[in-house]
Amino acid sequence: MRAQALQLTGDFSIDALEYRELDVPEPGEGEVLVRISAASLNYRDLMVVRGHYNPRVQKPLTLCSDGAGEVVSVGKDVTTFQEGDRVVASFFLDWNDGPLQRNKPWPSALGEAQQGVLTTYRVLPTRALVRLPDQFTYEEGSTFPCAGVTAWNALTQFQPVDADSTVLLQGTGGVSIFGLQIARAFGARTIITSSSEDKLARARQLGASEVVNYRNTPEWDRAVSELTQKRGVTHILEVGGAGTLPLSLRAAAPGGLVAVIGILSGTEQPLSLLPLLMHSLQVQGIYVGSTAMLRDLVQFYADHQLKPVVDQVFPFAQAQDALRAMDKAGHFGKLVITLDDASN
């Protein structure tokens, strides 16, 4: 038996990616072998492929951080998982719980510092695995680790969102749609922005309280101010980056949380600090989250009978098209690759 994988081997481009056959690894102490059924894409995967995330990344590199599948064999000492268990892997193999700590080694992430999960068989340590309840398909389960945990971390670990909160989501990609579902499930009021009227209509169907088209309304912070009777929003999932942060600081309520997550519009921009200090804002950097957060998020979705939003599923043989689709940004929620066509 051989494993199939999509790897970055040479040039940093989608076209240069290579399908390769690998030996199926044996699980060691504390590890299990997972037959990966589905992997979901994050914007980061596109950055890795293009060399924008880490130009010194070790090649060959199997892509993708987010995968779900079935345990097919276990290492000798493993008692917590067994063959047939359905699992999803954490983004970081060694950030188990608690906050990121400066005195601990920097946690290493799948699909960049560590080989990724866009492969039919992957050995993973049990400490980084979470059980996937039967109510989720593997495609759905594969969406939780990066986008889902990031939104969960931002909304629950610093100023926990509640029914008195008003949460602003930027755009309708993976992180923002998870944020919309989570905020709504906590009873919060939600405002979501998008460049597309069709996507705003879908966001309304998902329960968004208010919508703003940021293409037609470039000063969307003013629209948010009006929608909140000048109070501002209590939480912002800031995925836009340099181009949106100044507006986010103006849209936040006094004492509000601006969770700095993404860099879709770049990383550098002159910034007025006045709204930050005059409104006593909490500007909080977010770097995905721990295995414990993944476990809590999966349980939360199960308890609230929520389903992650999967926009499109691509066969493994068309994984490069999935990356091209991510680049075009026509998706709403998550893009997923199924590996069931590649397993033997």
Interaction of residue 184 with ligand NAP, rule CB under 6 A: no
> DSSP alpha helices (H): ranges in 138-240?
138-141, 149-156, 174-185, 197-205, 220-227
Q: By CB under 6 A, name the one of 122, 199, 202, 250 that touches ligand NAP.
A: 199
Whole-number Å distance between alpha carbons of 65 and 35: 15
Q: By CB under 6 A, name the one of 37, 143, 181, 194 that touches ligand NAP.
A: 194
Q: By CB under 6 A, name the one of 326, 337, 339, 342 that touches ligand NAP.
A: 326
Interaction of residue 308 with ligand NAP, rule CB under 6 A: no
Shortest reach from residue 193's CB to ligand NAP, in Å: 6
Question: Which residues in the 41-60 window bind ligand NAP by CB under 6 A?
Answer: 42-44
Of all residues in the shown chain, the one whose CB is closest to ligand NAP is 173
Whole-number Å distance between alpha carbons of 299 and 302: 5
Interaction of residue 286 with ligand NAP, rule CB under 6 A: yes
With respect to ligand NAP, which residue has the nearer C-beta, 27 or 141? 141
How many residues touch ligand NAP (CB under 6 A)?
32
Q: By CB under 6 A, name the one of 90, 119, 166, 170 that touches ligand NAP.
A: 170
With respect to ligand NAP, which residue has the nearer C-beta, 13 or 217? 217
Q: By CB under 6 A, name the one of 156, 157, 196, 343 that touches ligand NAP.
A: 196
Backbone angles phi, psi at 269, to 5 degrees: -170, 135
With respect to ligand NAP, which residue has the nearer C-beta, 92 or 316? 92
Interaction of residue 195 with ligand NAP, rule CB under 6 A: yes
- DSSP SS3 for 203: helix
Question: Which residues in the 84-143 window bind ligand NAP by CB under 6 A?
Answer: none
Name the segment binding ligand NAP (CB under 6 A); options: 115-123, 187-195, 268-276, 336-344: 187-195
Contact status, residue 112 vs residue 59, Cβ threshold 8 Å: no
Backbone angles phi, psi at 79, to 5 degrees: -120, -15
Burial class (CB in 10 A: 0-12, 13-18, 19+), 67: buried
Shortest reach from residue 277's CB to ligand NAP, in Å: 24
Interaction of residue 174 with ligand NAP, rule CB under 6 A: yes
Question: Which residues in the 138-167 window bind ligand NAP by CB under 6 A?
Answer: 146-147, 150
With respect to ligand NAP, which residue has the nearer C-beta, 91 or 138? 91
Whole-number Å distance between alpha carbons of 256 and 175: 19
Burial class (CB in 10 A: 0-12, 13-18, 19+), 159: middle
Interaction of residue 175 with ligand NAP, rule CB under 6 A: yes
Q: What is the DSSP letter of 146?
A: I
With respect to ligand NAP, which residue has the nearer C-beta, 167 or 263? 263
**Of residues 28, 137, 127, 23, the one with CA closest to residue 73:** 28
245-251: long-range contacts (C-beta < 8 A, 24 or more apart)? 245/269, 245/271, 246/271, 246/272, 247/219, 247/220, 247/221, 248/168, 248/170, 248/221, 249/275, 249/276, 249/279, 249/281, 249/283, 250/221, 250/225, 250/275, 251/168, 251/220, 251/221, 251/224, 251/225
With respect to ligand NAP, which residue has the nearer C-beta, 141 or 240? 240
Give residues in contact with ligand NAP (CB under 6 A). Answer: 42-44, 146-147, 150, 170-175, 193-196, 199, 214, 239-240, 243-244, 261-265, 286-288, 326, 329
